[in-house]
Structures are given as C-alpha cells and as structure tokens.
C-alpha cells in the first residue's frame, strides 16, 4: 500500500552526441580536457540525480497522535518515520505542501501548508516538534482540519482545485467517534489514509480510510514503520494525482556553469516534436517539466550555454508512469489479506501468530517467515489459505523475532505484513554443585547461543 526514494523510477536513457574531434585547433588542449571533464560530470550527474515526481501539486496534512497514550519512544519513532517519508518530496507553490496537526487534549496546528517550502525547513520543524499529551481528542482535531486547515481557498488553508490528502498516524488507542467527521472529509473530496501502530479496531478503522482499503490502511509495529515507507509514499502520490492524469518530471544536474556565466536551455519533446522550452540561469541546477501525460515517452535535451566554455548537450529519454487504474478511485472495497497481523499467547519458546481477514476463496496459501533479530537464521512455514493462525515453536526465551506473513492470492498478487514479537523470559537450569554460582539463580541460560539474537526491548 500504501517522495526513501520516490516510487520506482524507470531507468532513464541518457545520451550525448560524440565530442567533435575536429574542433578548431585554437581551442587549447587544456580547454578540450576541461570540456570533456565537464561533459562527463554533467552526463553522470544527470543520470544519477534524475527524479520522477508523479505528484507535482497537492496538499498533504498529517494528523499525528501525540496524546498521553503514545510513549516518548513511540512519538520519536513516528516523527522519524515522517521525516523519512517526506524527505524526497519537492515542496513549494507548484509542488507538494505539507502541514502537521497534532492530537492531544487541545489539538494544535504545528505548522500549516505555507510554513515550509524547503526540505531543510521542514526537517528542522519536525526535529523541534514536541508532543501535546493529555486525552486523544481526535474529534476536535478533525473539526479543525475540516473547517480550517483543509478548507480550500481559505487563508492559510488548502489550495483550491488541488488534491487534498489527510494521513492519520495513531496508536489506535481510543480514537473516539471519528466515523462521522472522517466521512464528512471524504465527502468534501479529501483522501484519507491511516497508519496504526497499535492494535486498533480494524472494523472501525477500515471505515475511516478512502478506498481502496488495501492501499490506504496500514497496521504496523512501531519499530517496523520503515517497511511501509515506500508503499505509503506511493499511496500519497496516487491520491495527490487526483485522477487528473497529469505528471511531472524533475531534472537535476550539477551547476557546471556556476562562476562561468551563461544559462541552461531545456527542450522536452514528445514524438519528435518540440513540447516546451525552458531556460534556467547558470546558478540553477533543476527544472520541473509539468503537465506531462501518463504512459508517454519524452526526450529532454539539456544544453549548457556559456561564452567561456564549450559544453556538449546531453539528452535523457524517459517514460511517465501509467495513469491510475479504474479501481484506483472506484467503488471497489476489496481488502487484500493480511490487513492485520497480531501476536498472542507468547511463551518462553513459542508464539501464536494470527492474521486477517480470512479469504479462503481467493488465497491459496500463506507463507510465514520468522527470524531472531538482528541476524538470526530465517525459518519458514506454509499455511493453507483457509487458516488464519499458526504457532511458532522452538524459539529462544527473551528474544525479539521479526515475523512476516505473506498471502499468495489466486489472482497472482501477493501481500505481506510484518510484526515484531517477544518471547517470555526463561529461568535458567540449576547449575552443578561447586560451580561457584548459587543454585537456582535466575539468569540467562548460559548454554543458549546468543549470537544472532537480541533480548526483548520493552518500552515504557
């Protein structure tokens, strides 16, 4: 489900005409060497710094639970997740705008859409953000979002006629009566996505998000949030596209003309004909090509122009991603299992793992993979499509395991979800008389190998 990296970018085809080996001899060897160096540098950096931005305009509001039910550790992890999630986005008037609304006894808008137009400013604001504590007054926060922050065209609010996205991050504990206000937001055209780091009520939370549920609803352990980063980013992009079918491509390059003067000329074309012409000054190192069509091949040529140096033009060929499928914003309410994975009946050497919803008519089997963190041996087992739980046996006491449940659907699609689980602490056996230790002392079993395992970390 669900711009670390921006969604997978098709490998661009970068090319440049060969250097003119018959260049006039008045160009000194050192100048020719400099030209070649600049040419190669520009070519390599053009290739490495090409970014595909499938969403060029849209307003994304994050609703962050910072009430008393969220521990300091969990809150820090949530902010770190937001930082990583948002780092690749281009911010600004013609790009994405981001706001942060915190939930506590008295919800507070930490910063609005017009507060940050650079990544440096946004990242610093996230680092400075402090929790509110108190009760989980989500209803009041949603009222603020609906009447003010996400109201289009108002002062400090969302931009008119652009996609609006609400991403709710919560621990799932006592969210309150959120169904009606969330429905009002969706009816007003706001796309709603949700990430729960606790064991919230799935049947309630599934009614909160916009369809398709399998793309917009996430249950994940607080320590494993990074595994959903790319999926959630893609989901945000998909909603921010708003079904308009218009795409943007951002070109970035090293400013090789800085200090030399001149300008860069960018000419994107489609099917051999000129599409548009952009000119950027010597100290600028990026350009955004907007209004592109989905699933279309373009060719962009960058020409550095300077009176003090000769630099060869380079070209890049790229294809925009396909547009949203009819199901993307359709009425389909299909939920792909597993939507939730839970751990129960944890013992010293066993853990019960359950998942849902059960879909025996569409799932052929489940693959359960588990290993002790951080470097334990990977174990796997296969469960029939009609079963929604299994018991993991022969585990080490007081050890953290990463458990992943993957569903193999008859349609060919696969879906996976991971959680962390801890076994209970064990009592060591009695040591032989004369060992120098008191008999029956509680301690970690000295005969259990500790390599590749991590003791459970239970956070306050």
Q: What DSSP string describes 279-333? A: EEETT--EEEEEEEPTT-EEEEEEEEE-SS-----EEEEEEPPPPPPTTTTSS--
| Residue 215 to residues 146, 163, 211, 231, Cα–Cα distance (Å) | 23, 17, 8, 8
Digit-coded pLDDT (tens) for 82-120: 998 998 787 888 788 999 999 999 999 999 999 998 888
Short-list 289, 312, 291, CA closest to 302: 312
Q: Give residue 74's pLDDT band: very low, low, confident or very high (50, 70, 90).
A: very high
Length of the chain counted residue by residue: 460
- Please state which CATH class domain 58-241 belongs to: alpha beta
For 21, phi and psi rounded to 5 degrees?
A: -75, -10
More confident: 267 or 352: 352
Digit-coded pLDDT (tens) for 76-85: 999 999 998 9
Topology of 340-422 in CATH? Immunoglobulin-like (2.60.40)
Place of tokens 């008859």: 410
Mean local confidence (pLDDT), 24-33: 40
The contacts of residue 141 (CB under 8 Å, 6+ apart) are 63, 101, 102, 103, 107
Q: How do the domains of the chain map onto residue ranges?
A: 30-51+246-319, 58-241, 340-422
Within 10 angstroms of residue 435's Cβ, the number of other Cβ atoms is 9
Digit-coded pLDDT (tens) for 373-429: 877 888 999 999 888 899 999 999 999 898 889 888 877 677 778 888 889 987 644
Q: Give residue 145's pLDDT band: very low, low, confident or very high (50, 70, 90).
A: very high
**Three-state SS letters, 235-289:** HHHHHHHCCCCCEEEEEECCCCCCCCCCEEEEEEEECCEECCCEEEECCCCEEEE
Q: What is the pLDDT of residue 428?
A: 47
Determine whether domain 30-51+246-319 maps to CATH 2.60.40.10. yes
Same fold, 30-51+246-319 and 340-422: yes
3-state helix, strand and coil shares in percent for the chain, rounded to the nearest 5: 20, 30, 50
Q: How far is CA 225 from the centre of its chain?
A: 9
pTM: 0.53
Within 10 angstroms of residue 343's Cβ, the number of other Cβ atoms is 18
């Amino acid at each position: 489900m669900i711009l670390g990296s921006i969604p997978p970018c098709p490998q661009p085809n970068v090319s440049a005409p060969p250097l003119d080996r018959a260049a006039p001899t008045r160009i000194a060897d050192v100048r020719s060497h400099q030209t070649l160096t600049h040419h190669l540098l520009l070519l390599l950096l053009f290739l490495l710094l090409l970014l595909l931005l499938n969403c060029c305009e849209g307003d994304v509001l994050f609703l962050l639970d910072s009430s008393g039910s969220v521990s300091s550790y969990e809150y820090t992890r949530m902010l770190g997740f937001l930082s990583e999630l948002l780092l690749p986005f281009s911010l600004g008037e013609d790009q994405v705008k981001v706001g942060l609304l915190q939930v506590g006894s008295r919800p507070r808008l930490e910063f609005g859409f017009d507060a940050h137009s650079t990544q440096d400013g946004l990242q610093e604001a996230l680092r400075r953000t402090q929790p509110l504590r108190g009760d989980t007054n989500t209803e009041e926060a949603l009222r603020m979002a609906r009447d003010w922050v996400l109201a289009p065209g108002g002062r400090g609010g969302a931009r008119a006629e652009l996609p609006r996205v609400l991403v709710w991050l919560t621990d799932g504990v006592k969210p309150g009566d959120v169904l009606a206000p969330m429905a009002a937001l969706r009816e007003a055209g706001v796309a709603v996505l949700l990430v729960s780091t606790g064991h919230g009520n799935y049947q309630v939370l599934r009614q909160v998000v916009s369809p398709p549920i399998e793309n917009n609803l996430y249950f994940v352990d607080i320590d494993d949030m990074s595994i959903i980063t790319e999926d959630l980013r893609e989901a945000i992009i998909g909603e921010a596209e708003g079904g308009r079918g218009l795409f943007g491509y951002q070109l970035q390059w090293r400013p090789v003309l800085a200090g030399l003067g001149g300008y860069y000329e960018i000419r994107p074309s489609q099917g051999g004909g000129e599409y548009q012409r952009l000119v950027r000054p010597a100290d600028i190192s990026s350009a955004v090509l907007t209004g592109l069509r989905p699933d279309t091949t373009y060719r962009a040529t960058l020409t550095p122009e300077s009176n003090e140096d000769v630099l060869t033009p380079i070209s890049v060929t790229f294809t925009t991603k396909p547009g949203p499928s009819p199901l993307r914003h359709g009425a389909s309410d299909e939920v792909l299992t597993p939507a939730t994975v839970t751990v129960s009946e944890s013992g010293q050497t066993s853990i019960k793992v359950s998942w849902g919803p059960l879909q025996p008519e569409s799932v052929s089997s489940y693959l359960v993979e588990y290993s002790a963190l951080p470097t334990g041996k990977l174990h796997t087992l296969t469960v029939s499509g009609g079963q929604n739980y299994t018991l993991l046996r022969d585990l080490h006491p007081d050890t953290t395991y990463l458990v992943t449940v993957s569903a193999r659907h008859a349609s060919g699609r696969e879906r996976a979800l991971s959680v962390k689980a801890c076994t209970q602490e064990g009592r060591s056996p009695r040591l032989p008389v004369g060992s120098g230790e008191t008999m029956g002392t509680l301690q970690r079993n000295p005969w259990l190998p500790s390599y590749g395992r991590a003791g459970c970390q239970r956070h306050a």
